[in-house]
Amino acid sequence: MFKILFIGDIFAKAGREACFKQIPLLRKKYKVDFVIANAENCTHGRSLNLQHYEQLSNCGIDVFTMGNHTYDHMYVFETLEKADKIVRPLNIVCSTKEGKIGCGSKVFICKKRKICITNLVSTQCFNRFKTTNPFQTFEDLLRKQKQKYDLHIVDFHAETTSEKKAFLLSFANKVSAIIGTHSHVQTSDAQIYKNTFFITDVGMTGPKEGIIGAKPDEIIELFFSKRTKFRMEPATGPYQFNAVLMTFSKNNKPKEIKTIAI
């Protein structure tokens, strides 16, 4: 058996503290082999700096995926350049030199298993850079891939539930898992569909009492007014920890998926 824990968007300080506390406990409790976490909101709600990358790596995260907030802050370029355990969105198009740093699909090795991890972002999310169609980009990737691997885990970072379901129906049986991220709310549809683990959204690991991680006041005001912009400040207070635990058989077939919400 081989167990992968996938943690939903780590949001700011509360999210990092949730990881420091929960990851060692969960690793021990479930005998987890490999930990993946979406870290697009890790540093003050926006992107991931090198210090937080190192702290979270040390607490047991093996690979970080990202999302539409990847490029919200300049410090991400240093992280992408120096860190070797990050997979950022594959379908972001940025013609500058910085935009070419990092990769969107990469193979990692754990206990003799080769695990390919791919990160895609929907064109419907607000993205700082242009994005290509994630469905077509992924189809191209599968066609061109030469490197062999045992498992393929996809983080599909998208807003709508329909888009994520359409992605599952398009690529089930071709990948090991399609894990939805970005909405910050854990859905109750974790399942195995045609040999592929799926959940529409794994949820968020961050401040429990905010609005999907942020301090509520400005966001509530936004909904009462015609404003379209607001200043996002991470909420404080107690945390929530959202993840899924995927168990694969000896021959890498999906056996069981369990949602975790602490």
Active-site residue numbers? Answer: 69
- Applying CB under 5 A, does 67 fall inside the site for Fe ion? yes
Select the span of 3-11, 44-52, 97-105, 229-237 touching Fe ion (CB under 5 A): 3-11
Q: Smallest gap, in angstroms, from Cβ of residue 124 to Fe ion? A: 11
Q: 122 φ, ψ to 5°?
A: -70, 150
Give, as one character, the DSSP assignment of residue 89. -
- Applying CB under 5 A, does 68 fall inside the site for Fe ion? yes
Rg (CA), the chain: 17
In sequence order, the 6+-apart residues with CB closer than 8 A to the CB of 183 are 159, 200, 201, 212
Window 167-206: contact mask with Fe ion (x via CB under 5 A): ---------------x------------------------
The whole-angstrom distance between residue 38's C-alpha and the CA centroid of its chain comes to 3
Q: Smallest gap, in angstroms, from Cβ of residue 10 to Fe ion? A: 9
- Applying CB under 5 A, does 43 fall inside the site for Fe ion? no
Q: Each residue of 24-38: b (16+ CB within 10 Å) or e?
A: eebbeeeebbbbbbb
- Applying CB under 5 A, does 9 fall inside the site for Fe ion? yes
* CB-nearer residue toward Fe ion: 3 or 157: 157
List residues binding Fe ion (CB under 5 A). 9, 40-41, 67-68, 182
